[in-house]
Amino acid sequence: MAFLNSSEAITPENVTSEFIDEKFRNQSGAFDVKKAEAFEQELLVRRKEMQQQVHDTRYSERILRDVLSHRDALKNAHKKSTFGSGNVLRGFDIAVLPGARSLVEMIREEKPDEEIQQAAEAFVRAYSPFELPVCL
């Protein structure tokens, strides 16, 4: 992220603006559907990685806690790492991914910039717990 000039105060608003510029706007400052789609794809990859991490963690915990057979531990970890079983994945599935899809559609449909900006700011608030340096 081409971060704020050292003379600028680092505020949640500045960080949000920088993030939106980096992920959703082109060099001329217009919202860019290709950048938004690329970021949406990054989120899908990130979600898959998060699910694998949840799976691996639950698998390890289950083995240590219950001393189950390898097969039983793997089966239980898979069940618990699917949609709806973990707060982290649930938040990502309910707020982050739909927000990104909505932004892509809004940009594709050439909605007014003010409307897209508001949606982008709402998206950043939903996404901020998953990503630093967005610190809202």
Task: Tell me, rounded to whole angstroms, the distance of Cα 133 from its chain centroid.
Answer: 13
Q: What span, in angstroms and rounded, lies between the C-alpha atoms of 1 and 110?
A: 26
Q: How confident is the model at residue 11 (pLDDT cuts 50, 70, 90)?
A: confident
Short-list 91, 1, 2, 107, CA closest to 47: 91
pLDDT digits (tens, 9 = 90+) for 59-70: 776 666 666 566
Q: Tell me the one-letter amino acid at 63.
A: I
pTM, entire model: 0.69
Higher pLDDT, 106 or 70: 106
Average pLDDT, the chain: 81
Angle value at C-alpha 33, between 18 and 52, nearest 5 degrees: 75
pLDDT of residue 114: 96
